[in-house]
Structure 1
Amino acid sequence: MSDSKLPSKQIRIYQPTYQLNPRRRFNVEKVEKILQKTIDYELAEVEYSEKSVPELTLSLAETIRNSVKEENYDRYRIVVVVTIGQRRQQGVHIFHSFLWDYERDAFATYNFENCHIYVNVVVYGVYLD
C-alpha cells in the first residue's frame, strides 16, 4: 500500500473588523435643507383632513427617507418621524427620548406651519457598528 496524503484544507480565520467611525458622517445641514425643500414643496397649500393626513404622513416620510438615503451615509440607519396636526388655537410640545452616542449619531429637524396645519419632522441618523 502506498502512503498517499490527502491535501489538507487550509482554514482561514478572520478577525473582527469593527469600524468605529463612519466614512461619511451624517451631515445635519444638508439633511435640514432636504427637509425644508421637501416639506415646503409638498405642504404649501395643504389643508387638514382626517382622511388624507395618514396617507400624506406615510408618503412624506417615505419621500424624505429616500432623499436622505440618496446622500449615501454609510453605516447609518435612517429613521424619519413625521407629525401632522390640525392648527387651532393651541400650543404643541413634542418630546423624544432615546439612548444616544454623541460622537456618531445625529438628527435634523424641521417645523412647518400654515393657517391649517402644523408639521414636525425629525430625521435620525443612528450609526450602526
Structure 2
Amino acid sequence: MADDEEVVEEAPEVVREPSAESEAGLSPVEEKPLAPPKYEVRPGLGEKFQAQNVREIILSTMQEQLTGRQYRADQAPRWAKSISNAVRQRCQELDMKRYKILVQTTVIEMKGAGIKSGQRCIWDPETDEYVDDLFRNDTIFCYTIVYGIYMY
C-alpha cells in the first residue's frame, strides 16, 4: 500500500570539478552545489519589445517587395510568404531576448471593397505586444502584423 512505502529525500545535486591532482588520484575531488535555477518572469528594462523598430522593418520590407508591382493572384501567396519570412528574420536580428516572433501577412487585390479582420489572443499585456502596418498601391493591399510573445 501507499502508506507503507518509505519516502526518501534526495540530496541536492553536486558538481565535481576535476583538478590536476584528482586526475592523478592524489587528492579528493572538491564538491560545489549547483546554483538554483533563475526564472525570468519579466523582461529586463532594456529588453522589452521594440515596437518602433519593428514597425520600420514591416514598412520597409513591404515597400521593397511590393513597390512597382501589380496584383497577380498566382504570385500573391509567394509575396506574402517572402514578406513574412523577411520581417521575421529582420526582427530576430534585433535580438529581443526570450521573445517569440510571429508574423502574419495578408496580400489582397484592391477592388474598392472593404475588409475586416480580427485576431484573438490570450497573453500578458505587460510583456507581450504587437505591431502592424499596411501597404497600398493601385492594385495591392498588404497588411502585416508582428506579435512579440515573451517566453517565460
Superposition TM-score, scaled by structure 1 size: 0.87
8 Å CA contact 2:42, 2:127 repeated in 1: yes
Give the aligned partner of residue 40 of structure 2: 19
Shift of 1:15: 3.0
Structure with bigger RCO (C-alpha 8 Å, 6+ apart): 1
- Give 1 or 2 for the bigger CA radius of gyration: 2
SS at match of 1:64: helix
Shift of 1:101: 0.7
- 1:29-66 CA-to-partner distances (Å, cap 9, x unmatched) read 11111111111122111211121111111111110001
Superposition TM-score, scaled by structure 2 size: 0.74
SS at match of 2:141: strand
Read off the aligned partner of 1:66 and give its amino acid letter.
Answer: Q
Give the aligned partner of residue 151 of structure 2: 128
* Unaligned segments of structure 1, at least 5 residues: 1-6
User: Which residue of 52, 68, 71 maps to 1:45?
Assistant: 68
Give the aligned partner of residue 3 of structure 1: none
Instruction: Call closer, same or farther: CA 1:50–1:11 in 2, change over 3 Å.
Output: same
8 Å CA contact 2:65, 2:79 repeated in 1: no
Read off the aligned partner of 1:105 and give its amino acid letter.
Answer: D
CA distance in 1 between partners of 2:29 and 2:68 (Å): 72
User: Which residue of 131, 134, 147 maps to 1:108?
Assistant: 131
How many equivalent pairs are there? 123
SS at match of 1:115: coil
Give the aligned partner of residue 83 of structure 2: 60
8 Å CA contact 2:105, 2:145 repeated in 1: yes
CA distance in 2 between partners of 1:27 and 1:89 (Å): 34
* Unaligned segments of structure 2, at least 5 residues: 1-27
